[in-house]
């Protein structure tokens, strides 16, 4: 019996959502009085991987094969299942990020393990293995009991704050057969220098109230001052004012930052569905009746074109 956590990485750097999964898995192991290991696939510096001990694992299995530098869900599933067998893992934890969404269900099916995705609580072991998850696009939670012997949990990003302990983990090379990838990666474009929206703790978002893409400097200046990532409402992405990956809401990305600042967004129910997990919501809207104010913690009723530059100045003054 043990817990195995899949931690994905980009160019040797383990993703923040994966660190959160490691910490979650380590806490599950504590609850079950067992040990937790992490598994990292693809090229990465072993000294850097040892620091994953910070989040509670004592061992990191590293499969450095270059063919694993690209994510192929089938090949990854095979390797993770082999590691789970070696470690006698009966709980497998994934980050519920883009890779986790591709791989966790495959691993669950392979191991015939019950799957809960988007977990926002540690398991309650009193009545089985009951994990709380987001449902109805953040409008409710469900407590789900995993009844199979092997269990797979994918942890909602930005839900558990990281608490590094300063400990290090032992890094072990894990050798196993690797099936050839059937999915070839032809190209990858990652916007560098910005925290990806799915991992961002501070988000500044703009809606149709900003009138046109030429006014986005307003949003960008505030985001820059805060070190925040930018987002937008659906009509803004649909109109091509902003790239599609910035679209948040029911049919876009669901995010849970510490701070979500909505500028010129009315707060339609489908928009709220993607952002209502945010810890603090600030709404800036010239219409006092905008529904978003009902979901907000702080609000300013006013013209964004006048208010936002002043907020940006005040943020700069703070630093």
Partner 1 sequence: MKILVCISKTPDTTAKIAFTDNNTKFSEAGVQFIVNPYDEWYALVRALELKEATGATVHLVTVGGADTEPIIRKALALGGDEAFRINANSQDSYYIAAQIAALAAQQGYDLIFTGKETIDFNGSGIGGMVAELLQLPFVSIAAKFELNGNTATIRREIEGGEEVNQVTLPVVVSCQKGMAEARIPNMRGIMAARTKPLTVSEPVAADTLTSIVSFELPPAKAGVKLIPADNPAELVRLLHEEAKVI
Which residues sit in the known binding site for FAD?
208, 233-234, 264-271, 285
For helices 304-318 and 217-226, angle between their N-to-C axes, nearest 10 degrees: 20
Map the footprint of partner 1 across residues 214-243, applying CB under 8 A.
226, 237
Nearer residue to partner 1 within complex by CB, 33 or 112:
112
Backbone angles phi, psi at 197, to 5 degrees: -55, -40
Backbone angles phi, psi at 285, to 5 degrees: -150, 140
What tokens were used for 88?
């006698």
- Residue 286 contacts ligand FAD per CB under 6 A: yes
- Residue 250 contacts partner 1 per CB under 8 A: yes
Size of the site for partner 1 (CB under 8 A): 102
H or E stretch at 282 = strand 280-285
Map the footprint of ligand FAD across residues 239-268, applying CB under 6 A.
249-252, 264-266, 268
CA torsion angle 299 194 54 114 (round to 10): 80
Q: Which of 45, 46, 297, 303 binds ligand FAD (CB under 6 A)?
A: 303
Burial 84-99 (b: 16+ CB within 10 A, else e): beebebbbbbbbbbeb
Map the footprint of partner 1 across residues 172-211, applying CB under 8 A.
182-191, 194-199, 202
- Residue 274 contacts ligand FAD per CB under 6 A: yes
Which x/- pattern, by CB under 8 A, does the window 33-72 give for partner 1?
Answer: ---------------------------------------x
Q: How far is CA 39 from CA 70, 94, 316, in A?
A: 15, 10, 41
- Residue 297 contacts partner 1 per CB under 8 A: yes
Which residues of this protein are in contact with ligand FAD, per CB under 6 A? 207-209, 233-236, 249-252, 264-266, 268, 270-271, 274, 284-287, 290, 303-305
């Amino acid at each position: 019996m043990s817990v195995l956590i899949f931690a994905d990485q980009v160019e040797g750097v383990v993703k923040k959502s994966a660190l959160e999964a490691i910490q979650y898995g380590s806490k599950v192991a504590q609850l079950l009085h067992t040990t937790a290991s992490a598994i990292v696939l693809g090229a990465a510096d072993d000294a850097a991987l040892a620091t994953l001990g910070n989040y509670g694992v004592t061992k990191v299995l590293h499969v450095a094969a270059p063919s694993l530098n690209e994510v192929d869900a089938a090949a990854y599933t095979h390797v993770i299942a082999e590691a789970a067998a070696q470690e006698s893992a009966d709980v497998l934890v994934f980050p519920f990020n883009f890779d986790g969404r591709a791989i966790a269900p495959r691993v669950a099916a392979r191991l015939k393990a019950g799957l809960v995705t988007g977990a926002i609580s540690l398991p309650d072991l009193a009545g089985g293995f009951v994990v709380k998850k987001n449902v109805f696009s953040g409008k409710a939670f469900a407590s789900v009991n995993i009844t199979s012997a092997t269990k797979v949990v994918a942890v909602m990003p930005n839900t558990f704050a990281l608490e590094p302990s300063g400990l290090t983990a032992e890094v072990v090379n894990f050798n196993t057969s690797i099936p050839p990838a059937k999915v070839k990666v032809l190209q990858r474009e990652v916007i560098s220098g910005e925290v990806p929206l799915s991992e961002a703790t501070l988000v500044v978002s703009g809606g149709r109230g900003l009138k046109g893409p030429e006014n986005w400097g307003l949003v960008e200046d505030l985001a820059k001052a805060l070190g925040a990532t930018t987002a937008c409402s659906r009509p803004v992405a649909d109109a091509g004012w902003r790239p599609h990956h910035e679209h948040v809401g029911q049919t876009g990305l669901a995010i849970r930052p510490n701070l979500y600042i909505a500028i010129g967004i009315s707060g339609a129910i489908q928009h709220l569905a993607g952002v209502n997990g945010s810890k603090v919501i600030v709404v800036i809207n010239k219409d006092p009746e905008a529904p978003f104010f009902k979901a907000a913690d702080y609000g300013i009723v006013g013209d964004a074109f006048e208010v936002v530059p002043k907020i940006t100045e005040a943020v700069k003054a703070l630093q």
